[in-house]
Amino acid sequence: MTKPVLFSGMQPSADSLHLGNFVGALSNWVPMQEDHTAIYCVVDQHAITVPFEPASLLERTRVTAAQYIAAGIDPERSILFVQSAVPAHAQLQWVLSTITGFGEASRMTQFKDKSQRYGTDTTTVGLFTYPVLMAADILLYQAASVPVGEDQRQHIELTRNLAERFNSRFGTTFVVPEPHIMKETAKVYDLQNPTAKMSKSAESDAGLLRLLDDEKVTRKKIMRAVTDADGEIRFDREAKPGVSNLLTIASVLSGSTIDDVAAQYAGGGYGDLKKGLAELVESTFAPIRERTNELLADPAELDRILARGAERANELAVSTLDQVYERVGF
C-alpha cells in the first residue's frame, strides 16, 4: 500500500521560525509523517521574490532546515530538501506560466498585499508569478495533500486549476491536490497587537516568540503581553483578544482544551497565566533550540543531509518533468 504524498514548505526568510510557524505548520507536519510520504521543502526561491540579503539567505536556509529536523522532521523517513537544489521547480514553473491566465494571476490577493507593502518600485515579476512556482512545487511531487494556512487557500485553488487545465489540454499528468487547511484554533496572534496574526513581518519584535530566542527574551515578551483591564481569565476573541491568545497558545502547547486552561488559572491574575505560559513555551522551545544548535555546529553534516534530500526529491521531480516535457512536445 502506498501512502499519499504530502508536500509543504516554508521560506527561509528569518533568522528563526516563530511560534506561529511552529503551531500552524511545523508541529502538524511531524505527525503527518506517519501516514504520508511527506516532502518538506525550504523554499529559498520564493524568499527572493521580496527584498532580501544574499549574505544571510544561505545561513537562513540552513537554520530553517535545522529547525525542521529539530522539531521532529525525520530526514530519513521524509524528504527534506532546499528548493533551489532541484532545478525542476523553475523548469515546471515556466511551462505552467504559459497556461496561467494573466487575469487569473492578477487576482491573487497575496500579491496585491505584498506589492502594496513593498511598493511598486520593488514589486517584481517574480513576486507576481510566485503562485505559479508554488503550483510547480506541489505538482512536481504528485502531492495529494498540501497542509497550509488559510492565507494560502487561493494559491492551492490556482494549483488545482492549473493541474486540471494541463491534464485536460495535454493528457492526464498531475494529481489534483486537496488543500489541508489548518484549523483556525491553531492560529496565534501578536502578543502586542493580538488582533493581528503573529508574523515575522510585524513592525515590532515584542509580540513575536521565536523558537531560537533565549529563555529570558521569551519570558520577558510573554510577561509584557497586552491583556485588558477586567482581570478575568476567560476566552472571548472579540472582547478579550490578548487573554484569548494566551489561552490559545497554552491550550495548543499543553494539549488541554481552552476551557481546561481557563479553569486552571481562573481566579488567579494574568501574571500567573503568563508565568505558566512562559514555562510551557520554554519547555517546548528549549529542546528544539538545543537540537538546532547541535545541527548548526556541524554544517557539513547538515549539508550532507540536505544533499541527500535533494537527490531523492530530484528523482521524483525529474520523472514528472519528463512526462510534462513529452506531453508538451519538448
> For residues 95 and 240, which CB has a smaller minimum distance to ligand ADP in the complex?
240
Confirm or reject binding of residue 187 to ligand ADP (CB under 6 A).
yes
210: which strand partners? 18
What CA–CA distance (Å, rounded) separates 81 from 309? 5
* DSSP sequence for 272-328: HHHHHHHHHHHHHHHHHHHHHHHHHT-HHHHHHHHHHHHHHHHHHHHHHHHHHHHHH
Q: Is 188 annotated as a binding residue?
A: yes
Pick the piece of the chain touching ligand ADP (CB under 6 A) from 19-27, 61-69, 162-170, 287-295.
Answer: 19-27
SS3 146: strand
The three cell numbers locating residue 208: 513575536
Which residues ranging from 25 to 54 are in contact with ligand ADP (CB under 6 A)? 25
What CA–CA distance (Å, rounded) separates 34 from 145? 14
Confirm or reject binding of residue 24 to ligand ADP (CB under 6 A).
yes
Q: Is 145 annotated as a binding residue?
A: no
Q: How far is the CB of 9 from ligand ADP (least distance, A)?
A: 9
Confirm or reject binding of residue 221 to ligand ADP (CB under 6 A).
no
Number of residues that bind ligand ADP (CB under 6 A): 17
Tell me if 211 sits within 8 A of 22, measured CB to CB: yes
What CA–CA distance (Å, rounded) separates 127 from 308? 29
Strand 145-148 and strand 79-82: the pairing is: unpaired
What CA–CA distance (Å, rounded) separates 65 from 60? 8
Vertex 250, ends 249 and 251: CA angle to 5°?
Answer: 90
Q: How far is the CB of 211 from ligand ADP (least distance, A)?
A: 12
Q: Write the DSSP symbol of residue 238.
A: T
> For residues 8 and 37, which CB has a smaller minimum distance to ligand ADP in the complex?
8
> For residues 53 and 76, which CB has a smaller minimum distance to ligand ADP in the complex?
53
Tell me if 112 sits within 8 A of 156, measured CB to CB: no
Tell me if 130 sits within 8 A of 171, measured CB to CB: no
Pick the piece of the chain touching ligand ADP (CB under 6 A) from 168-176, 186-194, 258-266, 319-327.
Answer: 186-194
The three cell numbers locating residue 159: 494549483
Q: Is 20 annotated as a binding residue?
A: yes
Confirm or reject binding of residue 237 to ligand ADP (CB under 6 A).
no
> For residues 91 and 179, which CB has a smaller minimum distance to ligand ADP in the complex?
179
Q: Which residue in 38, 41, 140, 198 binds ligand ADP (CB under 6 A)?
A: 198
Give me the residue whose beta carbon is nearest to ligand ADP: 24
> For residues 150 and 228, which CB has a smaller minimum distance to ligand ADP in the complex?
150
Strand ranges, E, within the chain: 5-10, 37-42, 79-82, 145-148, 178-181
Confirm or reject binding of residue 284 to ligand ADP (CB under 6 A).
no
- Map grid coordinates 508565568 to a residue: 275
> For residues 252 and 295, which CB has a smaller minimum distance to ligand ADP in the complex?
252
Q: How far is CA 316 from the centre of its chain?
A: 22
What CA–CA distance (Å, rounded) separates 302 from 45? 19
Q: How many CB atoms lie within 10 A of CB 87?
A: 13
Q: How far is the CB of 23 from ligand ADP (least distance, A)?
A: 5
Confirm or reject binding of residue 200 to ligand ADP (CB under 6 A).
yes
Strand 178-181 and strand 5-10: the pairing is: unpaired
Q: How far is the CB of 147 from ligand ADP (least distance, A)?
A: 7
Q: Is 150 annotated as a binding residue?
A: yes
Per-residue contact track with ligand ADP, 124 to 153, x per CB under 6 A?
A: ------------------------xx----
| Site for ligand ADP, rule CB under 6 A | 10-11, 20-21, 23-25, 148-149, 186-188, 197-201
Residues annotated within a binding site for L-tryptophan: 137
Residues annotated within a binding site for ATP: 11-13, 20-21, 149-151, 188, 197-201
